[in-house]
Structure formats: C-alpha cells, structure tokens
Amino acid sequence: MTDIGAWPSWNTEAQAGWSAGALAAARAYAATIHTSAAMLVAGGRVVDAWGEPERRWNVHSIRKSLLGALIGIHEAEGRFDLETTIGALGIDDRQGLTPREKLATLLDLLTARSGIYHPSGYETDWMVAIKPARGSAGPGTVWSYNNWDFNALGTAFRKLCAPDIHADFAARIAQPCGMQDFRPQTDGTLVELPDSVHPAYPFRMSARDLARFGELFLRGGRFGGRQIVPSGWVAQSVLPYSEAGTRGAYGYLWWVSRAGALFPNVIVPPGTYAAYGAGGHYVVVLPALDAVFVHRVDTDTPGQHVSPAQFGRLLHLVLEAAPNGTHG
C-alpha cells in the first residue's frame, strides 16, 4: 500500500472534486514510464498517491528552490543583502574572475543572470550545451540556467547565513513543516568539483516531504498556522523575471509558467510554477487548483528517466481529472 505517512487524505477523489476515472488514466500512463512515486495534494489533503512516496532520492536541481526558500528567511533577518557583489564577498574561482564578473550581485546569482560562465560542474549535458562563452555578457544582462551561479550562491549562503545548508534547512523548514523523512546528516552532502571551488549541495528527499515544501509555497510561506518563509519572498520568487522559451519563465530559483507554457504536451493553469530536477523530479504548484503535484524517479538506478515531454503528458492527464477539467 502506498505510504503517505502523516499526510491527511480525502476519503475519495470525488470528495475532493477530482475525477477518479481520469486519475486512473494518469496512473495507467505513469505505469508505462519510469515514474517511481507521485502525490497529488489538493486543499491540504492527499487526493491520490502511488509508488513509493516515502523513498528518498536525490532531488537534483530541486535543491536550488530549497536553498531559495532558506535565503528568503535569512534575507528578512538581515543576513543576506541581494545588492552585495560577489567581489565584496571575496568570491572567486580557480581560473580567476574578472573585475567585471565580480560586479555580479547576489540577486544576479539568484536569478541566473550573473554573466559568469566560468567552468562549474554537477551539470547535465543540456546545461553544458547552453552555457554562453566566457565574458560574453555583463552582470544582470542575460539569463542563462547556469550551475556556476547556483553553486556560488551556496557558497555565499554558507559564508553569510549558516555553515551547513542542510542542517539549516532541517531546522528552519523541514521540522516546522512536519517533514518526516529528511535527515540532514545522511540526506545532505557537499560535492567538490574539479573545475570550481564552489561545491554542489545535493539533497535526498521523499515525495511526501517534497509535497510539504510545495504546500509551504502554495500557502504563501505558511504552514500549520506559522509563517516560515516571508510571504513577500514567496511572491517575488515566482515572478517571471526571465523569458525561458518553451520552459516558460524563470524567477528566484523557480520555473514559472508563461501564458500556459511550462512543460511540453500540457497547458498549465495560470499562476503555475515548479521546481524540477534532472531525470524527472518535479514539484508543481498549482494555485488555481489549490493543489501540488510531486513526481519522482529512481534516478539512483541507471537508465531510470522521465523526459519533460513524458512528464508533460502525465501532468496533462492529471489536470484532466481536476475540478472543472475536461473529464466532465
């Protein structure tokens, strides 16, 4: 039986206003791809779940949205000034950064607009392929989904806010939100990279804990009656600062829908945004439906992968089941 842990659930899909038949079609499609776990939460309760939502897998680039939530807490407490330049913080790298590159601000890193294309690491083939030439853009002028920005942001956070990203996440977000599986000592690491001094900071988390993270943002940074992440930060994080083509737009470490575009094969409702990681890991927040959809893949096993197009097809089927969807 699927283990949703401490999550409350609806008695039936119909009680939540969702179509059981349409969700069965989504499940049937998921069985043909490498979906390992999925959870649909609406109105704060589980509508449907399948696979192994208790299993912890690497979240891959969802780590960036997790860090972004932490940054919002520390920014409100005065430790993280977005106007600070990386030069002022003494941030550099193996090949040396130029004076122009050192003018990039923490806000530029947060929005992936630093113009710093120094070699990084922990990247997918797509990320390597889209990286512009070194020195081709000035700070703040061009958006590029760039792990140098994201990893250097982790270095800045550890310098200004807390030396251990994962322990800070556990104390400030996981525990207050009632996450039951995340253990920072075993589920958080720093990965040193050969070409950069700025390590990656992967997280291993379960679908049922990631659903709580999505719910936290859906509720404007509140969980269980407590304001955990400032509401203003949540709202700013999901503004469409940068055009991202078929991937919609980009905010503060979140992917944001633009005119229905976010994934292939689906038109998402207005206001939808998502955190996602390589291999098929997604936290999709659907404010128009008061819902969160989490999708996981056992990327620990070689060959397990769900493409954006496959996920978009699955999400389309899930949305067919939504209240006022086309399921009738």
Is residue 111, in this structure, part of any structural domain at all?
yes
> From CA 127, how far away is CA 22, in angstroms rounded?
35
Q: What is the pLDDT of residues 229-281, one digit of tens each?
A: 999 999 999 999 999 999 999 999 999 999 999 999 999 999 999 999 999 99
Structure tokens at 217: 């943002």
In this structure, the answer to whether residues 146 and 212 fall within a common structural domain is no
Is the same domain home to 111 and 220?
A: no
Domain end point (choices 160, 189, 212): 160
What's the pTM value of the predicted model, to 2 decimals? 0.97
Overall domain count for the chain: 2
Does one domain contain both 27 and 143? no
Place of tokens 């819902």: 291
Domain finish residue from 139, 160, 181: 160
Q: Residue 212 belongs to what domain range?
A: 14-63+163-320
Do 134 and 276 share a domain, yes or no? no
194 Rama sector, left if φ>0, alpha if ψ -120 to 50, beta otherwise? alpha
> Of the residues 130, 160, 190, which one is the last residue of a structural domain?
160
For residue 197, give the nearest of 134, 141, 118 by alpha carbon: 118
Q: What is the CA radius of gyration of the chain?
A: 19
Instruction: Establish if 3 belongs to a structural domain.
Output: no
Q: How do residues 157-173 score in pLDDT, each as one tens digit?
A: 999 999 999 999 999 99
Q: pLDDT tens, 170-213?
A: 999 999 999 999 999 999 999 999 999 999 999 999 999 999 99
CA–CA dist 54, 59 (Å, integer):
13
Q: In Å, what is the CA distance from 217 to each residue of 100, 162, 228, 232? A: 35, 22, 10, 11
Please check whether residues 167 and 221 belong to one and the same domain: yes
List the end-to-end C-alpha distance of the chain, in Å, as a whole number: 29
